[in-house]
């Protein structure tokens, strides 16, 4: 009896740390397509459900609903938009309801699960472009507390503590430590 209670407690503790930001809805079978694949061959992915993310660039409300322009970044294993590799472009996320621009401010990281729709011609300040369109099924706005923790800076310097590792550093890539067999 004691072992079964301990096993249940351990499994709850382990599994509670592995929760993803998106709801695990059975109807959302997310395709593993990348942004580049969707951008290059939008017809091949129309109607498929994908997960993309980035940073909000603009939100437009109209009588037909809302449209979020997102600067695309790759997602890490937690679904957080990782801007360290740069952006491959932009995409539009559409919603049939109006969105409050105070709740969706410019510059906030967002992760979106939605259905790929036909691409749309848009005009930016400098050029016109064809952008992929995603009809939002689920979205997650990242709060500052949820954003990736940066490495700890050593006070008074611009050096990073090499022994600080956030949740996103895989165990095999962590340093082994200082060699202590000097004597």
Q: What is the CATH number of the domain that holds 69?
A: 2.40.50.140
Looking at the domain assignment, is residue 11 inside a domain?
A: no
Looking at the domain assignment, is residue 155 inside a domain?
A: no
Looking at the domain assignment, is residue 14 inside a domain?
A: no
Q: What is the pLDDT of residues 123-174, one digit of tens each?
A: 877 788 889 999 999 999 998 777 665 555 556 665 655 555 555 555 555 5
Looking at the domain assignment, is residue 126 inside a domain?
A: yes
Q: Report the domain count for the chain.
A: 1
Asked which of 36-50, 89-103, 153-167 is least confident by mean pLDDT, the reply is 153-167
What's the rounded Cα separation, in Å, for the pair 132 and 92? 6
Looking at the domain assignment, is residue 163 inside a domain?
A: no
Looking at the domain assignment, is residue 156 inside a domain?
A: no
Give the residue from 166, 56, 145, 157 showing the smallest Cα distance to 102: 56
pTM of the model: 0.68
Looking at the domain assignment, is residue 9 inside a domain?
A: no
Structure tokens at 29: 């079978």
Looking at the domain assignment, is residue 154 inside a domain?
A: no
- Helix-then-strand count for the chain, H and E: 3, 6
Domain that residue 115 falls in: 19-141
């Amino acid at each position: 009896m004691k072992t079964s209670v301990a096993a249940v407690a351990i499994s709850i503790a382990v599994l509670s740390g592995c929760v993803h930001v998106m709801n695990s809805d059975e109807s959302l079978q997310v395709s593993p397509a990348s942004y580049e694949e969707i951008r290059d061959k939008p017809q091949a992915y129309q109607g498929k459900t994908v997960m993309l993310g980035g940073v909000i660039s603009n939100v437009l409300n109209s009588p037909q609903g809302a449209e979020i322009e997102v600067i695309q970044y790759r997602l890490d294993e937690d679904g957080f938009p990782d801007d360290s590799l740069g952006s491959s472009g932009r995409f539009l996320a559409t919603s049939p309801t109006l969105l409050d621009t105070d709740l969706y401010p410019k510059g906030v990281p967002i992760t979106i699960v939605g259905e790929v729709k036909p691409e749309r011609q848009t005009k930016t300040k400098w050029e016109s472009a064809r952008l992929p369109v995603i009809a939002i099924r689920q979205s997650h706005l990242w709060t500052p507390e949820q954003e990736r923790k940066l490495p700890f800076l050593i006070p008074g310097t611009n050096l990073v503590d090499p022994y600080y590792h956030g949740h996103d550093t895989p165990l095999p890539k962590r340093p082994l430590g200082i060699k202590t067999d000097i004597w």
